[in-house]
Amino acid sequence: MKVIIIEDEAPAARRLKRILQRLNVEVSCVLHSIEASLNWFENNRHPDLIFLDIQLSDGLSFEIFENIEIKSAVIFTTAYDEYALQAFKLNSIDYLLKPIDEEELEKAVAKYEHFKPNYLAGGIDFDDIKKLLVNPLERTYKKRFSVKVGQHIKLITVDEIECFYSQDKTTFIHIDNGRSYPIDLSLEALTDELSPENFFRVSRKFFINIGSIKDILDYSNNRLEIKLKNFREHQIVVSRERVRDFKDWIS
Enter the pTM of the model: 0.51
Domain that holds residue 157: 144-250
Any idea what the CATH number is for the domain that residue 209 is in?
A: 2.40.50.1020
pLDDT band for position 80 (cuts 50, 70, 90) = low
Domain annotation covers residue 139: no
Give percent of the chain with pLDDT exceeding 70.
85
Do 216 and 116 lie in one domain? The reply is no
Indicate whether 123 and 191 sit together in one domain. no
Measure the CA–CA gap between 213 and 250, rounded to whole angstroms.
10
Q: In this structure, what CATH number is given to the domain that contains residue 108?
A: 3.40.50.2300
pLDDT value of position 136: 45
Weakest-pLDDT range from 10-14, 63-67, 170-174: 63-67
Do the Cβ atoms of 61 and 35 come closer than 8 Å?
no
Count of domains forming the chain: 2
- The predicted structure's pLDDT at residue 237: 96
The answer to whether residues 157 and 196 belong to one domain is: yes
pLDDT of 56-68, one tens digit each?
888 888 788 888 8
Domain boundary among 93, 111, 134: 134
> Residue ranges of the alpha helices (H) in the chain?
10-22, 34-43, 62-67, 86-91, 102-121, 126-134, 187-190, 243-250
Q: Is residue 181 part of a domain?
A: yes
Looking at the structure, do residues 9 and 127 belong to the same domain, yes or no?
A: yes
Query: Phi/psi zone of residue 58: left (φ > 0), alpha (ψ -120 to 50 degrees), beta?
Result: alpha
Are residues 37 and 62 in contact, defined by beta-carbon separation less than 8 angstroms? no
Contact 5, 31 (CB under 8 A): yes
